[in-house]
Amino acid sequence: MKKYIGKRLFQLIPIILGITLLSFTLMQTAAGDAVDALYDNSGGAVSETIKAEKRQELGLDKPFLIQYMTWLGGVVIGDMGVSYISNEPVFETFVSKLPATIFLTLTSILLTVLISIPFGILSAVRHNRFTDYLIRFFSFIGNSLPGFFVSLLLIYFFALKLKLFPVMGNGGWKSIVLPTLTLAIAMASKYTRQVRTTVLEELNKDYVMGARARGVREPVVLYASVLKSSMLTIITLLALSIGSLLGGTAIVESIFMWDGVGKLAVDSIMMRDYPMIQAYVIWMALIYVLVNLITDLTYHYLDPRIRLEQEASPWN
Amino acid sequence: MKKKSKVLTLMLTGVLVAGLLSGCRAAGSTKSAAEKVFNYGTVAYSVGNSNVGLNPHDAYSGWSAVRYGVGETLFKFNEAMELEPWLAKDYEQIDDYTVKINLRDDVKFSNGKKMTGEAVKACLDDLIAVHDRAPKDLQIKSIIADGQSITIVTEIKSPALVNYLCDPYGAIIDMEAGVSADKNVVGTGPYVAKTVNDTEINLEANMDYWGGKPKVGTVNVKSITDGDTLTMALQSGEIDAAQGLPYASLELFQNNDDYTISSTNTSRVYQTALNYNSAVIKDDAVRKAMAMSMDKDGFTRVLLQGNGTPAIGPFPAKFTFGGDAVKAAGYDLEGAKKVLEAAGWVDTDGDGIREKNGQKLSIKWLTYTSRQELPLLAESVQASYKQVGIDVQVNATDSYKDFLQAGDYDVFANAFVTAPTGDPQYYFTTHVVDGSDYNRGHYHNDQVETLVSQLRNEFDTEKRSDLAIQIAQQVLNDNAYIYASHLKMSFVMKKGVTGFTAHPSDYYEITANLDINQ
Amino acid sequence: MELTTVKTAAIKIKAHKKQQDRIMIKLVIFMALVIVLLLIAAFAAQLVPYDPYAQNLNIALQPPSQEHPLGTDRYGRDMLSRVMMGGQTTIYSALLLVGVITTFGTLVGLFCGYKGGKIDSFIMRVSDIFLAFPGMVFAIAVAGVLGGGIINAVVALACISWPKFARLARGQVLVIKNMPYISAAKLSGSRPTKIVFKHILPNITGPILVTATLDIGTMMMELAGLSFLGLGAMPPIAEWGSMMSDGRSMLQTSPWVILAPGCAILIAVMLFNLLGDTVRDVLDPKMKKEKFTWRRK
């Protein structure tokens, strides 16, 4: 196990280097001249000599790889430069908004679990019957609507027509309901189907047939055997969705005025605030990689057989 | 399953009843000033607008200080955009380079300190030391404070100095109290900020305000940058008033007894600069045809849904030098076609686009999307220009600055406040003279150069106005710029909100007059 | 005892047969519907009742009527024509995107899986890097570099989506590679390209085809998401995502402007998903392992 963890951690290094190099290159290409951008946004016209001095100060006259290394060194100690727009340190701004996003992510995961597991099981148990069709129908719809459209519909019905929840974020516990719901609808639609598939598969296995043949009661079969063995898969799926949710909150956050990193990212895109976008890209990628790693390790710990199977799986 | 739904119904009903009851209670009582709370949602306060915080000496944050009743300037504009004293009593122009400003005697900062000449000098000294735009505008050489007056000497003749002091960066703050870490300041206005951050400002009434007691105890300014969220927050009652609603939503509040709307015409114009460096645009006939083919009326009436006035020149009708003081070609597609034909632009290959000497009449239209009206203008022009045989390639991007720098455009369409100080000079010195900051069309006209330099040295208001008309007319004759429409700005508020009116300068929003009557 | 087992087995087979038939019927129906959708989109230019780009400000924002069954937008353009034309942009962009990533990803996966060794692990690490970016985030970064536009949005999404197919194909190759018939082919002296394309590829097309079909819907939604952020289709091009984000402030005043493209997206995505599900059932009812296919936004 230790050896495995060590190996996985070692594998992480090139990935992290790759992520940072790729996003650094992308942003360098996108942003054009950082000094021009800096002064352009601060309004005044500045002479070329001052710009050249600033370039030297920022080390922008050095070769690309040196610039990258310097920048990477900064990232490690939490220095990701200064926002072009607000002139605030990027890292601090980002960290201050991260908790809101994590909170939203967790509530969405929770709601996703609360919706998808019961409905997924129900759908599997009632395979090809009315309930199954109904659940699948709704999961199809939930899966086929863009997030921003769902948000608008939810606000319209729950905040305007029923006046149950507020439109905007950060106003007490009620304000998290609608953004959570928006995110959870899309996720739950997907996972309900996957839970259904997993449970169905398990239900078709020989041991279930055997248990049934021995006269074990259906609820016991379901809860004691099937659920237990399907849970592993389901938990992995959910853990992995944390990563995808962290990235997927951007649009929802900006619609609900939820003051998290997603909204920060969308705002930064609109204003071409490259240092901020860069921070967002890198941190989201790092969090995603970490969550995947932890999931893998847990998986590995729970079920060592996976090791073999994993080699052939799309993710290892 | 059935049981569950019953429980759910009961719960929902319970929540609804509770909601109704609490709603009734609130409506039944009359509140004292201290109890009144005004929640204000605006699209204008955001990091993107470079106006977060309240420090007038930082970027555009002065706008926030003045808009939300924290800071005040020495002079202000009235509804007709004429100068009025505010913290100052009056001023005397001692010579071409010297102005003496007499201050009010009864003004206190919100921390109780008196506003003296020394305090104002300290504030303005800091302004020109640290601000990016102010030193260039004001050209201040020295300030001398003497009791309740200050005397300002300028480097160059500065006829518009007092106008410039009305810019929100001129808000007077107590420099001894300084600027806090969260960008809060001590001003003289009717409200004092308790907390300030990037998305919200919480204000409390300044009960010792020199201009009378504010009528509302608490004001919360919330940044709501998404237009639909803003609309629905107003509808759901989470906010009492909104600024910057999408045009499409204004309809929901018009002719609705639960809301009142306050609108005003501003000097924000949607304009297009035609790039003289482009071979096609250089052709006088092309520019003329373009000016004639823009359906300003349709754009304003339908796409802005009436929230504006079709523009002729750079300034709106409110100013003596604006509105129909100048003349421009009217919307005339047939006329435009004739102009192009006469100049040799004909469609030879039958694709609907004209050519001349093998050159296609295709123009690159550069604009950006952060102002919702600009893409609409581009798309509407695209259709009408096509009818006269001009192909328009729209490039609506928020990295438009890169394209500007590369010179990769034939037309640049933007929004600009042409007379933020009530004076025409600012627009001309930034847009039409050689090498000026925003002369995106690289326009040059000797006559215009002469007239603008006259304007720079002219102190007589009437003569300034005449000069402004002559310059604007020359620009229009050359078709260097096409002006589409002047924006009408609207505040929408719940019925019962009073003293909250849209001002043509876009500077003043929350004042001591704000009140809520239930 | 013996007899009952045989009996149940027989019943099972019968039931299985019946189920197979039903799946085939479903397949035919969904296939037909998708083909209709594709045809409408393909011939939109010929089928539209009005020019989808012709403006007439005098009839702006008219509710659905006989002349304009889906109403008009704020430029007075016919919504039905725009939705049809938008289908062309949206569906074919998604198809192009899925086609590119499937082909490219599969080829990479085949190569890596078959070749193995250092080059394999290098390419897999590279794909790890791409996979590590939350999809939308990377797309935003790429679109930021290239600027807006539907083609750039497609490129951006392609960058982050190909590794999924590479991994899927590689995983399948690893399983098949050690099967006796491959060893046999190797022993008989077949060239590697022949083994890969003749013996391995046909055996892995199933799962790839299913994933690809299911991806069409997802990609349409992601393109719509990018359009919402202003990084997708440029005006005046009709595209469902940008039409929706363009009309979203009119949800209350002129709902048809947003509902028309919204329903179009809903129907199209659902059809492609249903088709994908059915194709999966047809190809291998047991191949329902979705364990390792997750979608990222």
Distance from CA of C224 to the nearest CA of B (A): 17
A88 pLDDT higher than 90? no
Judge whether residue B13 has pLDDT over 70. no
Q: How confident is the model at residue B315 (pLDDT cuts 50, 70, 90)?
A: very high
Peptide bond into C236 cis (omega under 30): yes
Which residue in C has a C-alpha nearest to residue B386's C-alpha?
C54
**Which residue do the tokens 């080059």 mark?**
C119
CB neighbour list of residue A171: distance below 8 Å, 6 or more residues apart: B238
- Best A257, A261, A270 member to test B by mutation, with max B CBs in 10 Å, is A257
- The burial class, CB within 10 Å (0-12 / 13-18 / 19+), for B6 is exposed
Task: State yes or no: pLDDT of A36 exceeds 60.
Answer: yes
Look at the block and give the residue holding tokens 């352009």: A40
Non-local CB neighbours of A197 within 8 Å, separated by 6+ positions: A124, C288, C290
The verdict on a CB contact (< 8 Å) between A255 and B198 is no
For residue B502, the 8-state DSSP code is: -
Distance from B381 to chain C by nearest Cα, in Å? 10
- Chain B contact for C250 (CB, 8 A cutoff): yes
Q: How far is A260 from chain B (nearest CA, A)?
A: 11
* C76: nearest CA partner in chain B: B302
- Residue A152 in contact with partner chain B when CB distance is under 8 A: yes
**Does the beta carbon of C280 lie under 8 angstroms from any beta carbon of chain A?**
no
Q: Does some domain include residue A307? A: yes
Q: Which is more confidently placed, A299 or C35?
A: C35
Answer yes or no: is A150 within a domain: yes
| Average confidence score pLDDT of chain A | 79
Grade residue A313 by pLDDT with cuts at 50, 70 and 90: very low
Residue B65 has pLDDT above 90, yes or no: yes
Six-digit token string for A294? 């932890």
* Beta strand ranges found along B397-459 (DSSP E): 411-417
CATH value at residue A238: 1.10.3720.10
Q: Which of residues 25-44 of C touch A (CB under 8 A)?
A: none
Cβ separation C75–B246 shorter than 8 A: no
Q: Which residue has the higher pLDDT, B468 or C116?
A: B468
Domain of residue A155: give its range. 90-312
Cα distance from A278 to chain C (closest Cα, Å)? 8
B226 close to A (CB below 8 A): yes
Q: Does B486 touch chain A (CB under 8 A)?
A: no
The answer to whether the Cβ–Cβ distance between C171 and A313 falls below 8 Å is yes
**C242 interface with A at CB cutoff 8 Å:** no
| Distance in angstroms (rounded) separating the CA atoms of residues B180 and B201 | 14
C-alpha distance from B350 to closest chain C C-alpha (Å): 18
Q: Which residue from B19, B232, B437 is facing A159, i.e. has the nearest CB? A: B232
DSSP-assigned beta bridge partners for residue A92: none
The verdict on a CB contact (< 8 Å) between C57 and B301 is yes
Contact status of B132 with chain A (Cβ, < 8 Å): yes
Per the domain annotation, does A32 fall within a domain? no
Question: C149: which 2 tokens?
Answer: 């536009």
CB of C59 within 8 Å of a chain B CB? The answer is no
Please state which of the ranges B1-10, B41-50, C137-146 shows the lowest mean pLDDT.
B1-10
| B224·A164 Cβ contact <8 A | no
* Residue A67 covered by a domain: no
What interface predicted TM-score (ipTM) does this complex get? Answer: 0.79
Name the residue facing A257 among B132, B229, B370 (closest C-beta): B229
Residue with structure tokens 């300037």?
Answer: B73
CA distance B255 to A49: 59
Share of chain A above pLDDT 70, in %: 84
User: What number of CA atoms fall less than 13 Å from residue B62's CA on the CB side?
Assistant: 23
Residue A298 has pLDDT above 80, yes or no: no
pLDDT grade for B332, boundaries at 50, 70 and 90:
very high
Residue A225 lies in a domain: yes
- pLDDT (0 to 100) of residue A283: 85
Chains that touch B (3 or more CB pairs under 8 A): A, C
Three-state secondary structure string covering B196-249 = ECCCEEEEEECCCCCCCCCCCCEEEEEECCCHHHHHHHHHHCCCCEEECCCHHH
Has residue A234 been placed in a domain? yes
Q: How many structural domains compose chain A?
A: 1
pLDDT at A129 over 60: yes
- Rounded CA gap, B380 and B385, in Å? 9
Handedness of CA C233, C239, C244, C249 (dihedral sign): positive
Q: Is residue A21 part of a domain?
A: no
Picking from B226, B398, B437, the nearest residue to A254 by CB comes out as: B226
Residue B372 has pLDDT above 50, yes or no: yes
Q: What is the pLDDT of residues C121-170, one digit of tens each?
A: 888 888 888 877 766 677 767 766 676 678 888 888 898 889 889 988 98
Q: Sign of the CA dihedral B375, B380, B385, B391?
A: positive
Residue A33 pLDDT level (bands cut at 50, 70, 90):
low
**Interval C239-272: pLDDT, tens:** 998 898 888 888 888 999 999 999 999 999 999 9
Can you list the alpha helix ranges (DSSP code H) found in A59-89?
A: 64-76
Query: What is the average per-residue pLDDT within A90-109?
Result: 90
Do residue B379 and residue C75 have CB atoms under 8 angstroms apart?
yes
Residue B93: beta bridge partners? B99
Residues from chain A contacting residue C170 (CB–CB below 8 Å): 314
Domains of chain C (ranges, CATH numbers): 79-283 (1.10.3720.10)
Chain C's closest residue to B379, CA to CA, is C236
Q: How far is CA B204 from the centre of its chain?
A: 26
Minimal CA separation from A175 to chain B, in Å: 11
Task: Kindly state whether B402 is in contact with chain A, defined as any CB-CB distance less than 8 angstroms.
Answer: yes
Residue A201 is assigned to a structural domain of this protein: yes
Distance from CA of B437 to the nearest CA of A (A): 8
A26 CB neighbours in chain C (<8 A) are: 141-142, 144-145
Spatial distance between the Cα atoms of B427 and B235, rounded to a whole number of angstroms:
38
d(CA B165, CA B180): 24
DSSP state of A47: -
Instruction: Name residues of chain C where pLDDT drops below 50.
Output: 1, 287-297
Once rounded to an integer, what is the mean pLDDT over residues A109-118?
89
pTM: 0.83
How far off is chain A from C111, nearest CA to CA, in Å? Answer: 15
Chain C residue with the nearest C-alpha to that of B385: C55
How would you label C258-287 residue by residue, b for 16+ Cβ within 10 Å and e otherwise? Answer: bbbbbebbbebbbbbbbbbbbbbbeeeeee
